[in-house]
Amino acid sequence: MAAGSDPSTGGVQTGDERSGGSRGVEPDYRFTLANERTFLAWIRTALALIAGAVAVLHLVPLDWHAGVQLAIGLALTGLAIVITVYAPLRWLSVQKAMRRGRPLPMSALPVITAVGVALVCGVVLIGSYWL
């Protein structure tokens, strides 16, 4: 173990612990943990969208047009699938950037999620006044 591997200031050479598999210096463990929590928050977002989809499609008795109901449910699950695919990739790219000391990459996912949820809200509004 290197003498200068103070977790609060420096890093540990990769090879000691590989958490993603790339070169560079392992970042402060608190940043790695924060990255992990961010990932988990994305997963919870996706799960909330899935729960909403299950509610719209199966549980709540809605007298909407069937097409509207199906569209909303599929939009919610589609959004959840996009998030669950993207979240680990995002985690990995952030981890790599932190190891190499680069600025964190921008992500389109918050915009996609916000626009998607806004669209669903709009359709719900239209659907509940339509029928």
In the complex, which residues of this chain contact other proteins (CB under 8 A)?
A: 1, 5, 7-8, 12, 16-17, 19-20, 29-30, 32-37, 39-41, 43-44, 46-51, 53-55, 57-59, 70, 73-74, 77-78, 80-81, 84-85, 87-88, 91
- Residues whose CB falls within 8 Å of the CB of residue 106, separated by 6 or more in sequence, listed in order: none
- Taking the complex as a whole, the smallest distance from the CB of residue 96 to other proteins amounts, in Å, to 12
Whether the Cβ atoms of residue 13 and residue 25 lie closer than 8 Å to each other? yes
Euclidean distance between CA atoms 39 and 90, whole angstroms: 8
**What are the start-end ranges of the E strands in 1-131?**
none
Rounded to a whole number of angstroms, the minimum distance from the CB of residue 69 to other proteins is 9
14 residue type, one letter: T
Nearest CA-CA partner of 125 in 37, 41, 64: 64
If the CB atoms of residues 88 and 122 are measured against other proteins, the closer one turns out to be 88
Residue 58 or 63: the one with the smaller Cβ distance to other proteins is 58
CB of 119 to other proteins, least distance (A): 17
Cβ nearer to other proteins, comparing 78 with 105: 78
What 3-state class would DSSP assign to 36?
A: helix
If the CB atoms of residues 30 and 100 are measured against other proteins, the closer one turns out to be 30
